[in-house]
Structure 1
Amino acid sequence: MNDLPLVLIVSGLAVFIGAIVQGGVGFGMGLIAAPVVTLLDPGVMPGAIQVVNFTLPLFTLASEWRKVDWRGLGFALLGRLPGSFIGAYVVVFVSVQTLGVFVGVMVLIAVGLTARAISIPRNGATLTAAGFISGITGTATGIGGPPMGLVYQNAKGPQIRATLAMFFVLSAGQSLIILALVDRLPARSLGVGAALLAPMIAGFVVSGPLRRYLDGGKVRAAILIVAAVSALVLIGQSLMS
């Protein structure tokens, strides 16, 4: 689609809704916004969403940074770095569609297992693996939250949001640098991403009541729902591409 104003309006609405979801749960921007932006203007992806992914968590950290799980974050970032390079390789050389279907199915299986009270332990191995998978899918498609969300599903809301926010700030910055290095970050991507910051801020502001509602013992259910929908969207987006 070449009608830039229409692209920005529709994409802005998707980013607004995505910011509400991520502001409450801790992730979900990619779930809502990435498929919409990809459909409207695939040439700006995944760079445009990575600009938003880098900026939105800063607002969460402004109020909840004291709740960051620094030890867990370190393990996740350890896996995220090599995953980002593989994600960039996928963007340049491999079918992103095949990757999307595979990862989507794996996330659905994980959601199904954990919903039946099979807990995913939160340790160095699972956090590193989650960071690795998030690095691949986040860099290649802009949807990198579900693996981390599943590992942190039993944590308290503020800790989930703060830890994922710090993870997304660092990982999105990493992805932007790597995309630039492999010449997959055109100026148009940065321009569209910058234009989407205003609806992103508005969505985060609106998410306040949702955060308070979910912190009343409903965070785990919300994470499983958002992760499952993310997986279905990723599969659908991949099959239709």
Structure 2
Amino acid sequence: MAEVAALGLGAWLVCAFAVFCGTFLQRLTGQGFGMVAAPIIALVAPEFLPAALLLLGTAVGLGATAFDRGAVARDELPAGFAGRAVGAVLATLIALALPDAAAFSAVVALVVYLGIALSLLGVRVEIRPATLFPAGVVAGLMGTLTAVGAPPMALLYQHEEQRRSAAMQNTFFAWGMVVSIASLAVAGLVRWPHVVLAVTLLPVSLVAIRASRPIARRVARASIRPYALTLAGLAATVLLLKQIL
């Protein structure tokens, strides 16, 4: 509790802003939570990443999935789920080797850049087990290390109908958060301060999910994606410059 209190109100409000924006975008598009929230939080509270954000992401993913569960194609889940689990285990081994918060912050920034690049690719990839599994592995690696795991699945589902795309991505996102936090917990990388910060920010996520409901019916995914990518890119750039300068 003392570590969370030591953040101060200003840093907590920055975290709350990041979580609200990330949750809002995640609900509408099936991606954006980690890509937006992780680099912003890393600026003020890198010691709480990725565990606190993964804990929050579990609630965000489940809440977002609940609204569009009728659009979830269950036959596509096993391969993606398996890949995400494998990626989470591999990422935990890497996380144990990261030397300090500065190195982790640099990893966050670079993964966000990779996520933006993947999101901007216009290639069409057939959705089948042979593509879902490797996409899940990459998402598990990215998501467990930095809480930015959506881009690989977003690449697969970017040409699908909006509701189906968001539903599938949110489902993979929720599962990914669960396996990632479980893997980190087994490795001893989840501590009580992470849990406390996540609990204090949970109401912010719930408000964001609620606020997105009326907008979800009117706003097309393509119309907000540029803003999400711009915000994520700016945050990652500031974070990277902070480590260099």
Query: Which TM-score tier does this pair reach, normalised by the shorter chain?
Result: 0.7 to 0.9
Structure 1 CA distance for aligned equivalents of residues 65 and 121 of structure 2: 31
Structure 2 CA distance for aligned equivalents of residues 234 and 88 of structure 1: 22
Residue in structure 2 matched with residue 40 of structure 1 by the alignment: 44
Is the counterpart of residue 143 in structure 1 residue 145 in structure 2? no
Specify which of 172, 176, 179 is matched with residue 184 of structure 2.
Answer: 179
Partner SS, residue 40 of structure 2: helix
Query: What is the correspondence of 1:71-86 to structure 2 with a 5 Å cutoff?
Result: 71-86=75-90
Shift of the alpha carbon at 1:145? 1.0
Q: 1:172 to 1:111 in 2, by over 3 A?
A: closer
Residue in structure 1 matched with residue 95 of structure 2 by the alignment: 91
Residue in structure 2 matched with residue 49 of structure 1 by the alignment: 53
Q: Which 5+ residue runs of structure 1 have no aligned equivalent?
A: none
Identity across aligned pairs (percent)?
23
Is the counterpart of residue 58 in structure 1 residue 57 in structure 2? no
Structure 1 CA distance for aligned equivalents of residues 234 and 14 of structure 2: 21
Partner SS, residue 15 of structure 2: helix
AA aligned to 2:58 is: F
Whether the 8 Å CA contact 2:7–2:45 is kept in 1: the answer is no
Residue in structure 2 matched with residue 13 of structure 1 by the alignment: 17
AA aligned to 1:50 is: L
Shift of the alpha carbon at 1:84? 0.5
Give the superposed CA RMSD: 2.6
AA aligned to 1:29 is: F
Specify which of 26, 30, 35 is matched with residue 26 of structure 1.
Answer: 30
Whether the 8 Å CA contact 2:40–2:235 is kept in 1: the answer is no
Whether the 8 Å CA contact 1:79–1:129 is kept in 2: the answer is yes
Residue in structure 2 matched with residue 211 of structure 1 by the alignment: 216
AA aligned to 1:69 is: A
Structure 2 CA distance for aligned equivalents of residues 69 and 225 of structure 1: 29
Question: Per-residue CA shift, 1:97-152, capped at 9, x if unaligned?
Answer: 675566455445444440xxx32222222221221111011111111111111211
Structure 1 CA distance for aligned equivalents of residues 179 and 19 of structure 2: 21
Partner SS, residue 213 of structure 1: coil
Q: TM-score, normalised by structure 2?
A: 0.83
Is the counterpart of residue 157 in structure 1 residue 162 in structure 2? yes
AA aligned to 2:68 is: E
Structure 2 CA distance for aligned equivalents of residues 53 and 190 of structure 1: 12
Shift of the alpha carbon at 1:182? 1.3
Query: What is the correspondence of 1:119-130 to structure 2 with a 5 Å cutoff?
Result: 119-130=124-135
AA aligned to 1:141 is: T
